[in-house]
A and B are shown apart, each in its own frame.
Chain A
Amino acid sequence: MWWTRLKALIIKELLAILRDPKGRIILIVPPIAQLVVFSFAATLEVTNVDVAILNRDSGRWGQELVYRIHARPTFGRIFMVDSPDALRSAIDMQQVVAAIQIGPSFSRDIEASASADIQIIFDGRKSNASQIVAGYLAQIVGELAAETPAGKRAAPVSVGVTLRNWFNPNLNYKWFIVPNLVAAIALLIGLIVSALSIARERELGTFDQLLVSPLRPHEILAGKVIAPMMIGLVHMTIFILAARLVFSVPLRGSLLLLYGSGLFYLLSVIGVGLLISALSTTQQQAILGAFLFMVPAMLLSGFATPIENMPDWLQPLTRVNPLRYFLVIVIGVFIKAMPWQEIVSNTIPLALIAITTMGMASWLFRRRLE
């Protein structure tokens, strides 16, 4: 008996979301567009940036440095300028991220084994890009320095670093961003679908229709949970496939674990959504509520920036954020082959969040009936 009722409810929830063309578009187009745009645009890798060079040295070392900078594929256009003013304005107007000034005595100093200086101006308004470009340039200059007469002599004390990047040897940024998007977009979809579900039925007047039927409150809630769960799982599957097939991200861990913990993740997200829904009386409030949760959840998840970089007093706040735990899991399963114990220990907080939010939502929901 209860199963007949619940089944009818779940089918209705799915149809209510998917049958309206506008609803379908909202559900399908933005996530795919986000996946594509984000994974290409949202990269902290810095390539193709422009630099300016003022070479006042007439010797071969200056030429050599310019040549090596040209040879680096990481740079975009390289502007050769002929005055410090031009250099300054190229930085001011943000035509370039870095401006390199090679002094007139550069080659002479090197040949004389004296210390040769080059000045590099970076645009501090783009602190991330300029820092990374500084790294590139330091490397080029370092290599050049090693070949100078003085450099050859000083070689013994320079310390080399043998580098091994585990999990992602070429530091391919897409391997990082795409699995993260799987989690972030599931948050977006799960939250919007569940936050709007009750508020919308209230506005349309269909909620009373449900309440006078023999459906019990927990059955109504179950229907409101299961339908978004199914949609969330379909989205996750699409994104996992895209990650694997379109973006060639390796999947090293167990898919079963990913889905298992994903289930709890979706539950916790939908719990938050239902809580928002139970708190709001109109769709507008539900939308704003979802937005108000989503922005901090994204920023406090470790997605944009590692949690350990946040101030100590802010870090505890991340513990109630489901995205935080699931990010560890997706990255763990996709590229780290994380052991199952660790996945489980990150799933437990998700289950706790789910239980708490659903409990509160259903309490509020019953109270609203009075």
Chain B
Amino acid sequence: MRTETADQASDRCRRLATLVRKETWQILRDPSSILIAFVLPLILLFLFGFAVSLDANKTRVGLVVESKTPMTEDLAASFRASRYFSVADAYDRRSFEQDLVLGRIRGIIVITPTFVRDSVGRFGPQIQLIVDGSDPNTANFVQNYVQSTVSNWAAQRSTELATPSPAIRIEPRFWFNQELTSRDFLVPGAIAIVMTLVGTLLTSLVIAREWERGTMEAVMATPVTAAELLAGKIFPYFVLGMASMTLCVLVAVLLFRVPFRGSIFSLYLLSAAFLIPALGQGLLISAATKNQFLASQLALITGFLPSFLLSGFLFEIRSMPLPIQWLTTILPARHLIPSLLTVFLAGDLWPMFLRSIAFMLTVGAILFALAARNVSKRIG
């Protein structure tokens, strides 16, 4: 065991401090760092805040009332009044069929002439719904909203006709997000993706660039140790990732009015835990490729796309095939996103947070161990 003198320790600190300072200057002067850390996140956040909305409001549908009676008119009126639909009227369903093919409307609601007659019959009144199945997602929404509009109408009529209310009433409660605003979960989810961009894409690009430009070699030939070199890279990008996360949270809360019910402390703790594997991945990629083009491609394929698609952010993990479900467990973003959503929408929930943090740190430790093996002070 060698003991370290106070001098050596202070040398160590000074070297680390200077590496951090150098990296900071570079970040501030390199437009592509600013682009990836601040501009791209804002663009992503705006797109998720505005463009991607899973709430179908004002879906265009065609409405055909084939025989006019007060009753059918009443039903038609409730469709027109619905906030989910933007209704076009016609007398003949054939005039809508073309529109359906062309995608101008998403469905045709037909109130048939037999509607009134059926309402006194054995099987109850029927309406017809023709939906554009080419987009199954929208088709499902149209179907659900038509169904619920019709049920509401029927319930209302029932009370008017003084018949008993439906036998079983469901009291649905959507916890944490009563209005089911998709923005409220899309925007926090986008924050996780933004941190992947900074932690993995940017980090791998800058380190690969140092290899390409030969500065890595010059620094390595100084008394600096491999650990200092790694720490000197990680620390600034860690701070940058946190800064970019903070910016996103501010935009989310102040501009998009996403509720924030947890504590700032848990938000930062979770983000910090997430950045460890993200940075580890960036380091590993750059050490393995030493080439900016390959590094960026790998970062996109192994970092950005999976955190987008396989993290449970947009698509339900439980509904994916089993092998893909297994694959998701090694993705840090998959562990961050539920906790992040919880911090925003539900509040602090420590059992959940601690589990995610443990997962992320484990993945991080493995990635760092791999990266450290690659970034020993050796070239070639």
Contacts and interface: CB of A to CB of B under 8 A. Distances in A.
A–B contact with Cβ pairs below 8 Å: the answer is yes
Nearest to A117: B169
Nearest to A285: B32
B167 interface: yes
B333 interface: no
B318 A91 contact: no
Interface residues of A, number: 106
Given A38-B309, A118-B171, A132 B140 contact: yes
Contact of B126 (A148, A160, A165, A308): A160
B113 to A, nearest CB: 14
B167 A120 contact: no
B342 A173 contact: no
Interface stretch (B1-9, B49-57, B231-239, B270-278): B49-57
A122 B167 contact: no
A75 B320 CA distance: 13
Interface in A157-209: 157-169, 171-173, 175-176, 196
A286 B178 CA distance: 44
Contact of A154 (B52, B57, B166, B321): B166
A113 interface: yes
B209 to A, nearest CB: 8
Given A285-B32, A311-B50, A332-B103, A158 B124 contact: yes
B137 interface: yes
Interface in B44-77: 44, 47-48, 50-60, 75
Contacts of A119: 171, 173
A306 B56 contact: yes
B242 interface: no
B338 to A, nearest CB: 5
B301 interface: yes
Interface stretch (A45-53, A233-241, A268-276): A45-53
A113 B44 contact: no
Interface string B177-216: 1101110110000000000000000000100010000000
Contacts of B121: 156
A295 B131 CA distance: 30
Interface string A27-53: 000100110011011111111111000
B324 A37 contact: yes
B78 to A, nearest CB: 11
B146 interface: yes
A210 interface: no
Contacts of B309: 37-38, 41-42
Contact of A122 (B100, B144, B151, B175): B175
A293 B259 CA distance: 30
B69 to A, nearest CB: 14
B50 A310 contact: yes
Interface string A130-155: 11101101100100111011110111
Contact of A339 (B60, B101, B345): B101
Contact of B52 (A41, A115, A283, A305): A305
B35 interface: yes
A124 interface: yes
B120 interface: yes
A125 B324 contact: no
Interface of B: 32, 35-36, 40, 43-44, 47-48, 50-60, 75, 100-103, 106, 119-121, 123-140, 143-144, 146-147, 150-151, 153-154, 157-158, 161, 163-178, 180-182, 184-185, 205, 209, 292-294, 296-297, 300-301, 305, 309-310, 314-316, 318-321, 324, 338, 341-342, 345-346, 349, 351-352
Given A288-B35, A310-B50, 16 more contacts: A38-B309, A48-B318, A92-B346, A120-B171, A154-B158, A156-B120, A158-B124, A158-B166, A160-B125, A162-B127, A163-B129, A168-B139, A296-B47, A299-B48, A300-B47, A328-B103
Interface of A: 22, 26, 30, 33-34, 37-38, 40-50, 76, 91-94, 110, 113, 115-132, 134-135, 137-138, 141, 144-146, 148-151, 153-169, 171-173, 175-176, 196, 283-285, 287-288, 291-292, 295-296, 299-300, 304-306, 308-311, 314, 328, 331-332, 335-339, 342
